[in-house]
Amino acid sequence: MNWAGLYTVLSGVNRHSTAIGRIWLSVIFIFRIMVLVVAAESVWGDEKSAFTCNTQQPGCNSVCYDHFFPISHIRLWALQLILVTTPALLVAMHVAYQQHQEKKLLVLTGHADPKHMEEVKKHKMRIAGSLWWTYVCSVVFRLLFEAVFMYIFYLLYPGYQMMRLVKCEAYPCPNTVDCFISRPTEKTIFTVFMLVTSSICIILNMAELVYLVVRACARRSQHHSNPSSGKSSFYGHKHSSEYKQNEINQLLTEQDGSLKDMLRRNSGLQEKGDRCSAC
Amino acid sequence: MDWGALHTILGGVNKHSTSIGKIWLTVLFIFRIMILVVAAERVWGDEQDDFVCNTLQPGCRNVCYDHFFPISHIRLWALQMIFVSTPALLVAMHVAYRRHEKKRQFRKGDQKCEFKDIEEIRKQRFRIEGSLWWTYTSSIFFRLIFEAVFMYAFYFMYDGFRMPRLMKCNAWPCPNTVDCFVSRPTEKTVFTIFMIAVSSICILLNVAELCYLLTKFFLRRSKKAGNSKQQPNHEDKEETKQNEMNELISDSCQNTVIGFSS
């Protein structure tokens, strides 16, 4: 499982996202993950081996490195990217659940041919009803994770600028020792780049949140002003994913009940048959 | 997520590009990205380890390396290629949007829709006209700007394109002016010149594509002006269809479950 695996998992979610969501996903994969993999990882590749302290004291180098870099930038960014992209899986799970319900309904109503099943799999879910709430939650979580990681970054490495020289006096260094960081300018450039793209992603998430809320309010006001609009057939009822869901649940429980009866009857007959065959 | 994934993403855009655009994409992937990955990265692989300064002063080597190489050539090229290839995604998004609208039209059973099958819509190649022309031209324009900016940044940071063998450094904590030696300077110069040359070829291809699109646009416009009074204007058909589609969309109900609408 690597970044390519994550890309495969998340590109499925892309279909059910808004336009802003798709732009956000592209920015994440191209300007953050790809830059991390092809460029940033090689900049930080020798961060420990090229971290040099002006001392011969064994252990001083390691201790000072550990003191100034509790967690490497690269690992922090990797964690950030994983946590920020995974709320989208909530949406994927919800969509899969809805598709499963629709397929079940198709089976119950006798439309279970492969063509209809494929249609269910391919058709794009509208972001309405409970899916809207799931989607909004996922966007809120994304925002939260981004903000938390930006804050952690600021706490651990105040100023975002990588110094050329740090002064260290942790044991076993004999006194205050000069330690030199490798490639500080290049690291600063990439840190600033990743911060800027992170901010762009935060802005995109906020825009998406605002768009979803505005759309929901617009739809709601349209519904209030025009309550009889839309097809009134069971399957075509516009504003009713919950209504549809309730009906589906009802049908399913009825059918489950009758299925159970059927199974009981069948197993009863079978037992009788066994008993007869045993006679 | 690596160059292969970028290739997959951009390969889809290729279908809707002009011939010059396809040549540009090929040059980008074969002569720049591939060269970067299979050759240049190895040449610059030991750039810091083998950067040697004539001093035992701890830290002097780090500081001098950082002073002379604020950002490595390899990283600059990687960023350049990412930025230069992403405007093509604008075109991909626009095409996806158009395809989505056509599918919507098809599903409503519009008589004017000329496709018999969803598959045909998926495979259809859109002509570069109307709003797609503007998107495409903007994407080329952005490509040109990014190429130029990176070439300038390169020239500005490294004072020309030649890698010197020896650099004199007197940044603290180096005790005095110290000689520092760069590893593989000639090989690096060769690859730098190669990458700059290919970058220039890409700029030329982009300029040619821009001229081609502009010429096509003006020719089409003059043909339209000449034919407008004589016969029903087929060039307008695309815009009329687009208008009708927009009307349908704004009047339409939301999607019903597929297969149950009839």
What's the gap in Å between the CA of B213 and the closest CA on chain A? Answer: 27
Rounded to the nearest 5 degrees, what angle is found at the Cα of A118, between the Cα atoms of A249 and B246? 95
Does the beta-carbon distance from B65 to A7 stay under 8 Å? Answer: no
Question: Best-predicted range by mean pLDDT among A265-279, B213-227, B231-245?
Answer: B213-227
pLDDT of residue A179: 92
Q: Exposed (0-12), middle (13-18) or buried (19+): which is A2, by Cβ within 10 Å?
A: exposed
Q: Report CB contact under 8 Å: B93, A181.
A: no
The band of B143, judged by pLDDT with boundaries at 50, 70 and 90, is very high
- Model pLDDT for residues A193-202, shown as the tens digit of each residue: 999 999 999 9
Residue A237 — left, alpha, or beta (φ > 0 → left; ψ -120 to 50 → alpha)?
Answer: beta
**Residue B226 distance to chain A (closest CA, Å):** 40
Report the largest interatomic distance among the alpha carbons of chain B, rounded to a whole angstrom. Answer: 86
Specify the DSSP element, H or E, that contains A200.
Answer: helix A184-225
Cβ atoms of residues B2 and B180 within 8 Å? no
pLDDT above 70: percentage of residues in chain A: 79
For the residues B136-144, what does the mean pLDDT come to?
Answer: 93
Number of Cβ within 10 Å of residue A44's Cβ equals 20
Residues of B in contact with A229 (CB under 8 A): 253
With CB atoms and an 8 Å threshold, state whether B82 touches A186: no
For residue B90, give every residue at least 6 positions away whose Cβ sits within 8 Å of its Cβ, in sequence order, or none: B135, B138, B139, B142
Contact B71 A186 (CB under 8 A): yes
- Does A37 sit within 8 Å of B260, measured CB to CB? no
Q: In the beta sheet, which residues pair with residue A180?
A: A52, A165
pLDDT tens-place string over residues B145-177: 999 999 999 988 888 888 888 899 998 889 889
Distance CA B65, CA B167 (A): 10
Residue of B nearest to A103 (CA): B257
The pLDDT of residue A108 is: 84
Question: So where are chain A's domains?
Answer: 7-51+72-108+127-163+185-221
C-alpha A250/C-alpha A245 separation (Å) is 9
- What is the Cα–Cα distance from B169 to B63, expressed in whole angstroms? 9
Cross-chain Cβ contact B86/A30 below 8 Å: yes
Instruction: Tell me the residues of chain A between 252 and 271 that have a Cβ less than 8 Å away from chain B.
Output: none
Residue B241 has pLDDT above 90, yes or no: no
Q: Is the pLDDT of residue A256 over 60?
A: no
Q: Do A236 and B256 touch (CB under 8 A)?
A: yes
Chain segment A99-151, per-residue pLDDT in tens: 888 888 888 887 767 777 777 777 777 788 888 999 999 999 999 999 999 99
Look at A182 and B255 and tell me if their CB atoms are within 8 Å.
Answer: no
Instruction: Report yes or no: B222 and B74 within 8 Å, Cβ to Cβ.
Output: no
pLDDT-derived band at B108 (thresholds 50, 70, 90) equals confident
Give B79's contacts in chain A (Cβ within 8 Å): 35, 39, 193
The average pLDDT across A243-263 equals 58
The amino acid occupying position A141 is F
| Chain B environment of A104 (Cβ under 8 Å) | none
Q: Distance from B63 to chain A by nearest Cα, in Å?
A: 7
Instruction: Report the range of poorest mean pLDDT among A19-28, A204-213, A266-275.
Output: A266-275
Percent of chain B with pLDDT over 70: 81
For the whole prediction, is pTM greater than 0.90?
Answer: no
Nearest Cα residue to B143 out of B71, B89, B222, B78: B89
Write out the CATH class of domain B19-219: mainly alpha
Is the per-residue pLDDT at A170 higher than 70? yes
Element (H, E) at A166: strand A165-168
Which range, B13-27, B39-53, B110-124, B192-206, is most confident? B192-206
Q: What mean pLDDT do residues B38-65 have?
A: 88
Helix (H) or strand (E) segment spanning residue A64: helix A60-68
Classify domain A7-51+72-108+127-163+185-221 by CATH number: 1.20.1440.80
Residue with tokens 């059973």: B109
Q: Looking at residues B30-34, what average pLDDT do you find?
A: 89
Verify whether the Cβ–Cβ distance B1 to A180 is below 8 Å: no
Residues of B with CB under 8 A from a CB of A: 1-3, 5-6, 9, 48-49, 57-59, 61-63, 65-66, 69-72, 74-75, 78-79, 82, 86, 89, 93, 97, 173, 253-261
* CA gap B17, A278 in Å, rounded: 76
Q: What is the pLDDT of residue A269?
A: 46
Tokens of B143: 């490509």
Position A29 pLDDT exceeds 60: yes
At B150 the pLDDT is 94
Q: Which residues of A66-82 are buried (b: 16+ CB within 10 A; e: fewer)?
A: eebbeeebbebbbebbe
At residue A3, the pLDDT reads 83
Q: Which helix (H) or strand (E) holds B166?
A: strand B166-169
List Cβ neighbours of A239 (8 Å cut-off, separation of 6 or more).
A128, A219, A223, A230
- The number of helix segments (H) and strand segments (E) in chain B equals 11, 3
Contact B211, B71 (CB under 8 A): no
Q: Out of A14-18, A72-76, A254-258, B249-253, give the one with best mean pLDDT.
A: A72-76
Task: Determine the pLDDT at residue A161.
Answer: 85
Q: Tell me if chain B has a CB within 8 Å of the CB of A46.
A: yes
What letter represents residue A106's amino acid? Answer: L
- Segment A62-77 mean pLDDT: 90
Range A69-82 average pLDDT: 90
Q: What is the pLDDT of residue A275?
A: 46
Q: Is the peptide bond before A58 cis (omega within 30 degrees of 0)?
A: no
Q: What's the pLDDT score for residue A11?
A: 79
Put simply, whether A34 touches B (Cβ < 8 Å) is: yes
pLDDT tens-digit profile of A82-109?
Answer: 999 988 888 888 888 888 888 888 888 8
